[in-house]
Amino acid sequence: MLDSKIPAGKLEDKWTEYKGHCKLVNPANKRKIEVIVIGTGLAGASAAAALGELGYSVKAFCFQDSPRRAHSIAAQGGINAAKNYQNDGDSVFRLFYDTIKGGDYRAREANVHRLAEVSTNIIDQCVAQGVPFAREYGGLLSNRSFGGTQVQRTFYAAGQTGQQLLLGAYSALERQVALGTVKVYDRHEMLEVVKIDGKARGIIARNLITGELERHFGHAVLICSGGYGNVFYLSTNAMGSNVTAAWKAHKQGAYFGNPCFTQIHPTCIPVTGDHQSKLTLMSESLRNDGRIWVPKQKDDNRKASEIPEDERDYYLERRYPAFGNLVPRDVASRAAKERCDAGYGVGTTKKAVYLDFADAIMRYGKIECGKHGIENPSKEVIRHHGLDVVKEKYGNLFDMYAKITGEDPYEVPMRIYPAVHYTMGGLWVDYELMTNVKGLYCLGEANFSDHGANRLGASALMQGLSDGYFVIPYTLGNYLADEIYSKAIPTTHEAFAEAEKKVADRLENLMNIKGTETVESLHKRLGKIMWEKCGMARNEQGLKEAIEEIRTLRNEFWNNVKIPGGIKEFNPELDKAGRVADFIELGELMCIDALNRKESCGGHFREESQTPDGEALRNDEEFMFVSAWEYKGHNGNNIEWELHKEELNYEVIKPSQRNYK
């Protein structure tokens, strides 16, 4: 039975009550307790720093060459917080409500409310650390809007918010390194969770420079390893982003929650060809000012500038007048796919729509001319001033677009298309962020908990830092208070030896296949299956086919993969092979979960379940639950999983059909 350990009491009092009554560990004991943190993105770095500050002895692991490289660094648009600095009607409740609704009523009320509560502390903390958020001339913090909301609650630092927040957390982490409470293991990859008497007690990690395996003990293990979007091969994730740490935890008994909930982001730079290695996001903040359109005429090959206003279809504004271009991501993505599939796409591949700033440039230009007292300005003068404003707001994004495409987005509209961006699914955790394995925690994007079936923009940074700075310091203590009698277990313990042997054997197996197909090409094939059959739209037949195809691919991988080099050396191909092997298993589970969930909700769109006008149609009667999959082991060529359900009880919000019209 899954116990989510949601505290009793009124929703708005649960977290305060919990904090008031959870168990504590005294400072002298904290020093003797070791905590392992996997991943150094916003969740991992903030957790490691905060736990180090409390006095725990922390080991932080990352596969990159420095904790500062974690992919949180690439988050662009911003971070939400219910500060209501704009006096536009925001509140903790409103942020909570928007997040639950945005997630299409598939997230836990108590977790999301806590997230909304601590959102305000995050901004305070980051400013205290010296994070240079955007400010107004009066010296106060600036805000902007994001999709799925009608208030301005997003804090930002140009289009580099993730970078600035991560560098803040990284600085806090490095400060703890200097103080001796945290030790960082960079270029290390976690390859196994070590369990002793049912509790997570350490890990096996591989030093990626020497290839040596290492044993590390911990009284608790925190998985903060991010999302699994790279299962699609092409995504906005970094090349190294992977599911391996979470997958090892899953195979050691941690349930995987809602694996099929993936977010396809509507505004990314389109694919150009088979050589493509990754996709680049253009921040959702651009939808504040950019208008999305396609030609009204099918297969229109004219340049954007040659298409007159009345021959353009601003389809989001047409379909969703209340939210317009700021509908949630899943809605915007499906609408783009619908137009392109119907033959209205633009660009050479016809798999793109326009994101146009011409109106915004003129609108801002007029305001600026007014401010500067310029009377009867010419169109050129207005445009000139407008360009300056747009440059300040989005300059780095426009530059990035120009570098990749060779086109100047100040002159021609951007071409954009949806791409895999974020995964709402992840390891199942309870209210304390503990998986169903004792002592094994999961934070940030790697867990399933806060975003339901669709994440709203600027909420990932909020969740990562909430989990790391403000939740885990309390909830971990509640567990560790009973662990103060457990001495550190020597890594000569047989459980460590067995785990290390398992990892070593797997590496040997991989190297001994000596087949003919490269890791990269197998990964591409997996991505293609996933994108076509478990992507923006899914149906029963496609998913069944995908499961069979992935099983075949898994056999091929284990019989025919070709990995150069050796084990005891710096060998990125071997690292990648291990990750792709895990992605293949995960891909199968994602399709099984998608097949099982015979409803549409958020980013999960089952073609069999839609409203007459093509919107996602939920089935609350049968599917108002979290799917938590238990790994049951290999049975011949098949992997078996058992489904556990965590029923979602909405005590405060009444779920309704989402409506952004």
Partner 1 sequence: MQHYTMNLTLKVWRQKNANTPGDFQTYNVENISSEMSFLEMFDVLNERLIEEGKEPIAFDHDCREGICGMCSMVIDGKPHGPWAQNTTCQLHMRAFKDGDTIVVEPWRAKAFPVIKDLVVDRTSFDRIIQAGGYISVNTGNAQDANNLPIEKKAADEAFAAAACIGCGACVAACKNSSALLFTSAKVAQLSLLPQGAPERKTRVVDMVAQMEKEGFGACTSTGACEATCPKGISITNIARLNKEYLWATLTAE
Stretch that binds partner 1, among 4-12, 105-113, 426-434, 468-476 (CB under 8 A): 468-476
Give Rg (Cα) of the chain: 24
Q: Which is nearer to partner 1, 176 or 258 (CB)?
A: 176
Q: How far apart are the first and last CA of the chain?
A: 40
DSSP state of 604: B
Asked whether position 552 contacts partner 1 by CB under 8 A, the answer is no
Is 145 an interacting residue with respect to partner 1 (CB under 8 A)? no
Which two three-digit tokens encode residue 548? 């069979």
Say which of 94, 153, 287, 329 is annotated catalytic: 329
For residues 321 and 572, which CB has a smaller minimum distance to partner 1 in the complex? 572
Site map (CB under 8 A) of partner 1, residues 255-274, x = contact: -----------------xx-
Residue 275 makes contact with partner 1 by CB under 8 A: yes
Q: Which residue, 29 or 405, has its beta carbon nearer to partner 1?
A: 405
Is 138 a binding residue for partner 1 by CB under 8 A? The answer is yes
20 is a contact residue toward partner 1 (CB under 8 A): no
Q: At what angle do helices 109-128 and 14-21 cross, to 10 degrees?
A: 70
* Residue 61 Cα distances to 115, 204, 305, 446, 506, angstroms: 26, 11, 51, 15, 21
Binding mask 236-255 for partner 1 (x = CB under 8 A): --xxx---------------
Q: Which stretch binds partner 1 (CB under 8 A): 89-97, 169-177, 253-261, 310-318?
A: 169-177
With binding defined as CB under 8 A, does residue 659 bind partner 1? Answer: no
- Helix (H, G, I), strand (E, B), or coil: what is residue 447? strand
Chain centre distance of CA 32:
33
CA distance 210 to 208: 6
Buried b / exposed e along 593-610 (16+ C-beta atoms within 10 A): bbbebebbbbbbbbeebe
Q: What's the token pair of residue 624?
A: 């108002």
Q: Could you say which of 167, 194, 476, 503 contacts partner 1 (CB under 8 A)?
A: 167
Residue 309: CB minimum distance to partner 1, A: 26
Query: Hunting for tokens 């806590």 — which residue is that?
Result: 114
| Interacting residue with partner 1 among 13, 124, 341, 498 (CB under 8 A) | 124
**Contact residue for partner 1 among 2, 11, 22, 74 (CB under 8 A):** 74
Give the binding-site size for partner 1 (rule: CB under 8 A): 83
Q: In this complex, which beta carbon is closest to partner 1, that of residue 35 or of residue 107?
A: 35
Neighbouring residues of 599: CB distance < 8 A, sequence distance ≥ 6: 606, 609, 617, 618, 619, 622, 623
Q: Minimum distance from CB of 515 to partner 1 (Å)?
A: 11
Return the range that interacts with partner 1 (CB under 8 A); candidates 29-37, 132-140, 359-367, 605-613: 132-140
8-11: which pairs have CB atoms within 8 A and are 24 or more residues apart?
A: 11/109, 11/110, 11/113, 11/651, 11/652
Q: Which residues contact 274 (CB under 8 A, 6 or more apart)?
A: none
Binding to partner 1 by residue 24, rule CB under 8 A?
no
Residue 65 binding partner 1, by CB under 8 A: yes
* 3 state DSSP class of 231: helix
Residue from 442, 440, 420, 602 nearest 111 by CA: 442
Return d(Cα 455, Cα 118) in angstroms, integer. 18
Q: Name the segment binding partner 1 (CB under 8 A); options: 283-291, 569-577, 585-593, 619-627.
A: 569-577
- Residue closer to partner 1 (CB basis): 534 or 563: 563
User: Is the CB of 521 or the CB of 637 nearer to partner 1?
Assistant: 521
Q: Choose which of 9, 343, 564, 614 interacts with partner 1 (CB under 8 A).
A: 564
Rounded Cα distance, 163 and 283, in Å = 14
Task: Tell me whether residue 35 or residue 157 sits nearer to partner 1 (CB atom).
Answer: 157
Q: How far apart are CA 600 and CA 602, in angstroms?
A: 7
Residue 88 as a binder of partner 1 (CB under 8 A): the answer is: no
As a whole number of angstroms, the distance between CA 90 and CA 84 comes to 5
Of 573-592, binders to partner 1 (CB under 8 A) are 573
Site string for partner 1, 278-297 (x = CB under 8 A): x-xx----------------
Which residue lies nearer to partner 1 by CB, 239 or 497? 239
**Residue 501 interacts with partner 1 (CB under 8 A): yes or no:** no
What are residue 195's DSSP bridge partners? 200
| Residue 286 near residue 159 (C-beta atoms within 8 A) | no
> C-beta of 121: minimal distance to partner 1 in Å?
7
Q: Judged by CB under 8 A, does residue 165 bind partner 1?
A: no
Q: Would you mind telling me the total number of residues written for the chain in this entry?
A: 661
**Cβ distance 583 to 523 under 8 Å?**
yes
Binding to partner 1 in span 93-122, by CB under 8 A: 121
Helix (H) or strand (E) segment spanning residue 335: helix 329-341
**Two structure tokens written together for 546:** 């995908």
Instruction: Answer yes or no whether residue 28 interacts with partner 1 by CB under 8 A.
Output: no
Minimal distance, residue 331 CB to partner 1, in Å: 25
Distance from C-alpha of 498 to C-alpha of 88, rounded to nearest angstrom: 58
Smallest separation (angstroms) from partner 1 to the CB of 566: 10
* DSSP-assigned beta bridge partners for residue 644: 628
Task: Restricting to residues 172-201, name those near partner 1 by CB under 8 A.
Answer: 172, 174-175, 177-178, 184, 186
When binding is defined by CB under 8 A, the residue of 135, 372, 502, 645 that contacts partner 1 is 135
List the interface residues with partner 1, window 200-219 (CB under 8 A): 209
The nearest distance, CB 399 to partner 1, in angstroms, is: 8
Residue 437 engages partner 1 in binding (rule: CB under 8 A): no
Question: Hunting for tokens 């500062």 — which residue is that?
Answer: 68
Residues 319-378 that bind partner 1 (CB under 8 A): none
Q: Which is closer to partner 1, CB of 89 or CB of 273?
A: 273
CB of 354 to partner 1, least distance (A): 17
How many whole angstroms separate alpha carbon 242 and alpha carbon 237? 9
Q: Respond yes or no: is residue 329 known to be catalytic.
A: yes
Contacts to partner 1 from residues 34-63, by CB under 8 A: 46, 49-50, 53
Applying the rule CB under 8 A, the residues between 516 and 535 that interact with partner 1 are 518, 520-521
Is there binding between residue 69 and partner 1 (CB under 8 A)?
Answer: yes
Check: CB of residue 646 under 8 Å from CB of residue 628: yes
Beta bridge partners of 256: 427, 629
Give dist(CA 625, CA 278) in Å, integer. Answer: 33
* Range 392-411, binding partner 1 (CB under 8 A): 399-400, 403-407
User: Can you tell me which residue has the tokens 């591949």?
Assistant: 349
- Cβ closer to partner 1: 177 or 488? 177
Task: Confirm if 526 and 233 have CB atoms less than 8 A apart.
Answer: yes
Residue 463 touches partner 1, criterion: CB under 8 A: no
Q: Residue 517: exposed, middle, or buried by beta-carbon count in 10 A (0-12, 13-18, 19+)?
A: middle
Under the binding rule (CB under 8 A), the answer on residue 388 touching partner 1 is no
Q: How far is the CB of 50 from partner 1 (least distance, A)?
A: 4
Q: Just list the catalytic residues.
A: 329
